[in-house]
């Protein structure tokens, strides 16, 4: 330590001070300090004069900067020393030329480290070969089983019929009473036998399930002759168990007890005098105690009858309410309602009547009145209609109306609401003939003109919801009133 301190003091003594630099002699190359000629300054230095070499200004400034930096470092270290610890300052040895060169020398660039490769994921393990073979075998068995079910499998359908010898068909193919082996699916089953009503039903046969049906056929009602000659406008009085009808040849009404229809010797009973002539239409009240009778006026023919009316124009259709007086021939009477009354229908209870009224003055109205035509109320303007037909709904909230113009394409179906007094079409096509509500009032059965050389009847029946939705053709030819059975039938039906 002492040896180093001596070197430090000798180096400091050789440093020129500021005053010496300004006032001392200037050194020149090849001259001594005394100005005398001496050895040149650039001669090679031997080992003996290495210690005697004087530092240049550049060396001094570099060494001073290093010294100052080292002193600052020592001061920082001393400031961090605890107060109770005393430490003597240590002189900083002068850096050698070799150290200075090392500090100023730029360190060589370091070689970049090779990038570490990311670990390669381990390959996924697949199914073992033996397991793949088993899976393929299972898949093949499933395919073979499905093909068998679709092509070869048959389910069981057992059919039992109450009438032996009945003809059974499935989708128009012959089947048998008992066990039938058929492919699963839906079939149209039909069972027929003479003297019985045909049985038709859609059945479904399912996989792995036995389907059993037990069918009871109903016998066809026997047709009984009531009267051998022409008769029409048939009505049934359920309170008395009577059938009533009009016989044109007799110009009178007759009745027969329903329980005695099977008695061949039972003769119809006269219900009215023989003076009901020139009848155009008859509409029975549901109680069958009264009926609206339309008669074509003919003074000569009707003279002496309750229907004689000289004030009415000849050939005019007159409307009368005929009271059968509880079928007493002596207490029957006819009440004149007028002319210009078109289609007419009683309510289901028979306490009200609705009809189309066209008196010839330009008026065309839908009228509702009491059963005796009192308290007349015009509820709708029908000036855009021609000879329409009408029908009540069972709940008395609606009346269905069908136009009957000679322009058949305009004959659409309408529903008039008695609640909000609106008239709305329920079909967008024409050629309609009649329409009537079913007994529940949820559907409308209607007939449409359909000409077919294979059928004499041109009235083709269809059904729809009361708002006109879900229309379906029934493939039946008949009058709507025959199909529903709510009005007596005239000779035209």
CB-based contacts of 440, cutoff 8 Å, min separation 6: 394
Six-digit token pair at 265? 């010797």
CB-based contacts of 410, cutoff 8 Å, min separation 6: 403, 430
Positive or negative, the CA dihedral 43, 46, 50, 51 is negative
* pLDDT value for 143: 85
Instruction: Tell me the average pLDDT across 423-435.
Output: 93
**Cα–Cα distance for residue pair 238/189, rounded to 1 Å:** 37
pLDDT tens-digit readout, 131-189: 888 888 888 888 887 877 677 788 899 999 998 999 999 999 999 999 999 888 999 99
pLDDT tens-digit readout, 57-103: 445 455 555 555 555 555 554 444 444 444 445 555 555 554 444 44
What is the pTM (predicted TM-score) of this model? 0.57
CB-based contacts of 154, cutoff 8 Å, min separation 6: 181, 182, 183, 184
Q: How many CA atoms lie within 13 A of 159 on its CB side?
A: 26
CB-based contacts of 436, cutoff 8 Å, min separation 6: 391, 400, 444, 445, 446, 480, 481, 484, 486
- Among 5-9, 37-41, 287-291, 307-311, the range scoring the smallest mean pLDDT is 37-41
């Amino acid at each position: 330590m002492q040896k180093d301190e001596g070197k430090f003091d000798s180096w400091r003594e050789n440093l020129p001070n500021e005053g010496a630099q300004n006032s001392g002699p200037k050194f020149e190359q090849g001259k001594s300090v005394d100005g005398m000629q001496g050895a040149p300054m650039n001669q090679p230095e031997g080992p003996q004069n290495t210690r005697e070499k004087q530092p240049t200004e550049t060396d001094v400034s570099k060494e001073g900067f290093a010294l100052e930096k080292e002193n600052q470092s020592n001061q920082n270290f001393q400031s961090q020393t605890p107060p109770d610890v005393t430490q003597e300052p240590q002189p900083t040895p002068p850096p050698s030329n070799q150290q200075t060169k090392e500090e100023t020398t730029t360190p060589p660039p370091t070689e970049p480290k090779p990038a570490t490769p990311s670990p390669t994921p381990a390959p996924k393990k697949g199914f073992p070969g033996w397991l793949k073979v088993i899976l393929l075998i299972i898949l093949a068995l499933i395919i073979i089983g499905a093909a068998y079910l679709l092509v070869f499998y048959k389910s069981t359908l057992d059919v039992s019929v109450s009438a032996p010898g009945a003809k059974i068909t499935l989708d128009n193919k012959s089947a048998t009473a008992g066990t039938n082996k058929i492919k699963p699916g839906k079939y149209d089953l039909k069972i027929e036998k003479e003297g019985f009503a045909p049985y038709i039903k859609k059945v479904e046969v399912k996989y792995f399930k036995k389907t059993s049906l037990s069918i009871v056929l109903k016998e066809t009602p026997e047709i009984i002759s009531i009267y051998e000659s022409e008769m029409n406008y048939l009505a049934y009085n359920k309170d008395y168990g009577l059938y009533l009808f009009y016989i044109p040849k007799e110009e009178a009404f007759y009745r027969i007890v329903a329980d005695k229809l099977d008695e061949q010797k039972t003769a119809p009973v006269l219900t009215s005098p023989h003076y009901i002539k020139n009848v155009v239409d008859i509409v029975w009240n549901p109680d069958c105690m009264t009926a609206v009778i339309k008669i074509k006026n003919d003074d000569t023919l009707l003279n002496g009858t309750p229907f004689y009316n000289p004030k009415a124009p000849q050939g005019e259709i007159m409307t009368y309410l005929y009271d059968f007086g509880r079928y007493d021939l002596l207490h029957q009477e006819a009440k004149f309602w007028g002319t210009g009354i078109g289609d007419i229908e009683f309510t289901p209870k028979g306490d009200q009547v609705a009809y189309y009224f066209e008196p010839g003055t330009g008026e065309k109205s839908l009228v509702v009145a009491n059963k005796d035509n009192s308290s007349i109320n015009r509820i709708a303007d029908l000036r855009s209609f021609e000879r329409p037909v009408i029908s009540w709904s069972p709940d008395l909230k609606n009346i269905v109306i069908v136009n009957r113009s000679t322009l058949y394409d305009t004959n659409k179906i309408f529903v008039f609401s008695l609640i909000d007094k609106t008239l709305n079409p329920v079909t967008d096509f024409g050629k309609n003939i009649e329409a009537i509500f079913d007994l529940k009032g949820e559907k409308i059965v209607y007939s449409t003109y359909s000409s077919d050389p294979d059928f004499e009847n041109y009235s083709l029946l269809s059904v729809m919801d009361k708002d006109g939705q879900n229309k379906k053709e029934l493939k039946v030819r008949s009058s709507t009133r025959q199909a529903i059975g709510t009005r007596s039938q005239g000779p035209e039906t």
